[in-house]
Chain A
Amino acid sequence: MSQIIIYTIITLVAIGAAAAIILYFVAQKFKVYEDPRINEVEMALPAANCGGCGFPGCHNFAETLVKSDSWDDLFCPVGGNETMSKVAAILGREAIEQAPKVAVVRCNGTPEFRPRVTEYDGAPTCAIAHSLYSGEGGCPHGCLGLGDCVVVCDFDAIHMDPVTDLPVVVDDKCTACGACVEACPRDIIELRKKNKKDRKIFVSCINEEKGAVAKKNCSVACIGCAKCFKVCPYEAITMENNKAFIDSEKCKLCRKCVVVCPTNAILELNFPPRKTDKIETDES
């Protein structure tokens, strides 16, 4: 009886050993070399696989980081400068610093400012509503309020405000991966430079129609009057297609433009209350 067991064990061990030897040589023969640094770099990345860097996932991005000579367009917005410097240390290279960014919703068309003139009961996505008509509020550039940006956010950083019917970005959670920017069929969301204490000044309107038409649809529309353009001491504001745009890289947050805007289209967020020498805008 015990003999059978012994023979069995010997046979199995022999087969195992033979197979191991064959497999070893085969593995040597067909070995695919991968730079060990790719794995190391990947471990340093946030593993969110969000696609914010422009690559399908963290592994592809790590591969590109190791292989490419120039890092000009390569940046992990989720990990930010910290992660990039870690990666640079692993590879013994110079990290390229980029100012942190945050998503900003450039529409202030709440039902109060932009009365709803029609009712949309079709498929509840912005992309389809956009392909059908200018929207419940009548503004062809305004937020449709159906939340395509909310669906694509991997970080729970954007949600719809039921009162204003507009998306709200949670600055602390936003990683500036740009998924919402891509999802918005009307290009309302922009990635802007993150300032100290999350302070923000931006034109909360991207309407390109003539002032009178824009104003008819929405009382807080940018009418392209260029008052802000004239008052800006830093040349941060440009006028194009009947609307003003504030370059977040050049803006020094002096808040001069906010006061002169006749339609309150320029918003200032997270600032301390102004001293009483200026006329207050409708801050809330």
Chain B
Amino acid sequence: MSLKTFSRGGVHPPEYKLSAGKTIIELPPPEVAVIPLSQHLGAPAKVLVNRGDQVKVGQMIAQAAGFVSTNIHSSVSGKVLKVDQFMDSSGYRKMAVQIQVEGDQWLETIDRSDDLVRNSVLPAEDIRKKILEAGIVGLGGATFPSHVKLMVPQGKTAEYLIINGVECEPYLTADHSLMMERTEELFSGIQLLMKGLGVEKAIIGIEINKPDAIEKMKQLVQGSSVTVQGLKVKYPQGGEKQLVHALLKREVPSGGLPIDVGVVVFNVGTTLAAYEAVMKNRPLIDRVVTVTGKSLEKPSNFLVRIGTPVSSLIEKAGGVPDDTAKVINGGPMMGKALPTLDIPIVKGSSGILLINKNEARRREVKPCIRCTKCVTVCPMGLEPYLLMTLSEKALYDRMEPEKVMDCIECGSCSYTCPSSRPLLDYIRLGKAEVGKIMRARKAV
């Protein structure tokens, strides 16, 4: 029997899961934490604290500004030094709260015990409310506010909950380690989300390069309505549209969301955060980050407080190797190089990857030879070579009918191009411009 996977496009980059099987190490809070106000998709949160205020771990320091926005909580206890602009992973200075850490005092309402809570007596509405309050966003990288996903729009019904344990990015092992170490809590979280959504069926999708995780999850879900599905290793299977297609053979329509085909997708990290929010009253204040790289001394999985600078993580993993050329925030396929190491870990940071000089070497950009390799690998069925040319020539109005907005920015086209053309860079630029055109049209 052939394994399930999505049918259109995809690539298979070398995996290099160097930190696989490493236990999650919890890092102490940093000396100074910088907590950005925009860690999610949507409007930046409105700050609630002032300079000089004392805050505790778990205290809300910024409130959601609108429906598609989230609350932000302090991940440390101490004194607010400044509410000012700080460099974040976007490469620009954005509003953030800087906190001088003093001790580690948590809010009394947070249950810090390790006791497993299995069944929730809360009604679905309260589950959604708690997730909204806890400021949970999609921890896979897109940082889409989770409470929005749980609100099924009128006229649509959710049939399946899909738990994304694919982790198709090379190098990253954060989700893998969570599935291995926090399996039971994860299972409880899945049941919780099923209740919150009102669905009967859930599927956990895991690529078969993590056989231990598949085995462990399978043992746990026996006798429940949750199934575990092993998937063929192919990038970008972790994209929610690809995952929905791989598991259910349903195609999310262009411009639509998985809910349009009756599915809601949550990452394993998000599921666990939801568990902690509902059962333990614990807002999203930390996350698991993979720190990895071929030249790095100790590739590891760390449980880090939001706001910890990247530099301290690398230090804990053995320090920056001499031959480091770039430090990437995220995985090698979708991540972005960081301009400095003073950048804080945010809700969406899934990994820190140090690549050496040899790996960072750029090949010369040559003319397009019309081999259509990019078209073959595009998981969304687009024509990347055409989109790049249109973007290069600033013909943005022609990019919209070519469905540039459907691009999920997986980078398969740039990865596969034999002429090393920077396809995704140009497509992303075009996407931003088309987005502007569309917004302007809406405003009229």
Q: B339 interface residue, CB < 8 Å from A?
A: yes
Bound-state Cα–Cα, A128 to B422, Å: 10
List chain A residues, Cβ under 8 A from B360: 121
Of A18-26, A131-139, A197-205, A232-240, the one contacting chain B is: A131-139
- Whether B432 lies near A131 (C-beta < 8 A) is yes
**What is the 8 Å Cβ interface bit string for chain A, positions 223-257, against chain B (1 contact, 0 not)?**
00000000000000000000000000000000000
- Whether B92 lies near A128 (C-beta < 8 A) is no
- Whether A128 lies near B339 (C-beta < 8 A) is no
List chain A residues, Cβ under 8 A from B429: 127-128, 131
**What is the 8 Å Cβ interface bit string for chain B, positions 67-93, against chain A (1 contact, 0 not)?**
000000000000000000101001111
**What is the 8 Å Cβ interface bit string for chain B, positions 28-72, against chain A (1 contact, 0 not)?**
000000000000000000000000000000000000000000000
- Whether B362 lies near A209 (C-beta < 8 A) is no
List chain A residues, Cβ under 8 A from B87: 134
Question: Which residues 132-162 of A have a CB within 8 angstroms of B?
Answer: 132-134, 138, 140
Distance (whole angstroms) from the CB of A212 to the closest CB of chain B: 11
Bound-state Cα–Cα, A134 to B365, Å: 24
Nearest CB in chain B to that of A130: its residue? B429
Nearest CB in chain B to that of A133: its residue? B91
Distance (whole angstroms) from the CB of B38 to the closest CB of chain A: 15
Assess A128 versus B425: contact at CB under 8 Å? Given A117-B339, A121-B362: yes
Bound-state Cα–Cα, A142 to B106, Å: 43
List chain B residues, Cβ under 8 A from A121: 360, 362
- Whether A134 lies near B362 (C-beta < 8 A) is no
List chain A residues, Cβ under 8 A from B92: 133-134, 140
Count of interface residues, chain A, beta-carbon cutoff 8 Å: 15
Bound-state Cα–Cα, A127 to B339, Å: 17
List chain A residues, Cβ under 8 A from B362: 121
Q: B428 interface residue, CB < 8 Å from A?
A: yes
Nearest CB in chain A to that of B338: its residue? A133
Question: Which residues 413-436 of B have a CB within 8 angstroms of A?
Answer: 422, 425-426, 428-429, 432
List chain B residues, Cβ under 8 A from A118: 339-340
List chain A residues, Cβ under 8 A from B245: none
List chain A residues, Cβ under 8 A from B425: 122-123, 128
List chain B residues, Cβ under 8 A from A209: 85, 93
- Whether A134 lies near B339 (C-beta < 8 A) is yes
Assess A138 versus B339: contact at CB under 8 Å? Given A131-B432, A209-B93: yes
Distance (whole angstroms) from the CB of B379 to the closest CB of chain A: 22
Q: B336 interface residue, CB < 8 Å from A?
A: yes
Assess A133 versus B422: contact at CB under 8 Å? Given A121-B362, A127-B429, A209-B93: no
List chain A residues, Cβ under 8 A from B93: 134, 140, 209, 213
- Whether A133 lies near B428 (C-beta < 8 A) is no
Bound-state Cα–Cα, A122 to B425, Å: 8
- Whether B90 lies near A128 (C-beta < 8 A) is no
Q: Which of A123, A128, A132, A213 contacts B336 (CB 8 A)?
A: A132
Q: Which of B85, B429, B432 has most A Cβ within 10 Å?
A: B429
Assess A133 versus B339: contact at CB under 8 Å? Given A121-B362, A140-B92, A140-B93: yes
Bound-state Cα–Cα, A117 to B92, Å: 14
Bound-state Cα–Cα, A128 to B365, Å: 15
Bound-state Cα–Cα, A209 to B428, Å: 27
| A residues neighboring B (CB under 8 Å) | 117-118, 121-123, 127-128, 131-134, 138, 140, 209, 213
5 A-B residue pairs with CB within 8 Å: A118-B339, A123-B426, A127-B429, A132-B91, A133-B90
Q: Please give 8 more A-B residue pairs, beta carbons under 8 A apart, in addition to A117-B339, A121-B362, A128-B428.
A: A118-B339, A118-B340, A123-B426, A128-B422, A128-B425, A131-B432, A134-B87, A213-B93
